[in-house]
Structure 1
């Protein structure tokens, strides 16, 4: 498996926009348990959308790992992690999510 993103450059801004839209529509919280790991708390109604986006992201960035869990209170926990040499990718997602959470 490739150790780099294989998403064509022209499609990368579109993918970023998809994550931004998910954050704007469904993000309830952001937690950083450790470097290279971010936990996004989403509205559970966004589960199908989040899983589909995660699957497409995994197809082009195989170094990313996504895991999903329900907290039983209407919230979906979306854990995103990567090996040490790719923590910057996870960090960038966390920063975008936090910016979306802080936006009015």
Structure 2
């Protein structure tokens, strides 16, 4: 996922996009357990529970600048965090890039 993956619908200033990408990379590197692509419009990430505060923070900020994302963060009792990310069909490419980035960082 390069800096150019963000569509015009993203209101995050261009200069801040590499910083946000680095935040996602840190979360993926430190806490990501599993990546499941459930459909072209739905990605599920499972993360270590210790990342909950950081994940809630970045998801809230990402929701503010990229309104096309729908994030659903759950933590079933005794389980890792589950983050379901959904996008409209027009933004499936953004979800592709996010899924590829998560898988690549997790694989390091």
TM range (shorter): over 0.9
Unpaired runs of 5+ residues, structure 2, are: 1-7
| Residue among 41, 44, 49 paired with 1:44 | 49
TM-score using structure 2 length:
0.89
Equivalenced residue count is: 101
Which residue does the alignment assign to 2:95? 90
Which residue does the alignment assign to 2:66? 61
TM-score using structure 1 length:
0.92
Alpha-carbon RMSD: 1.1
Q: How many Å separate the matches in 2 of 1:70 and 1:88? A: 27
Which residue does the alignment assign to 1:34? 39
Unpaired runs of 5+ residues, structure 1, are: none
- What is the DSSP-based 3-state SS (H/G/I as helix, E as strand, rest coil) of the residue aligned with 1:5? coil
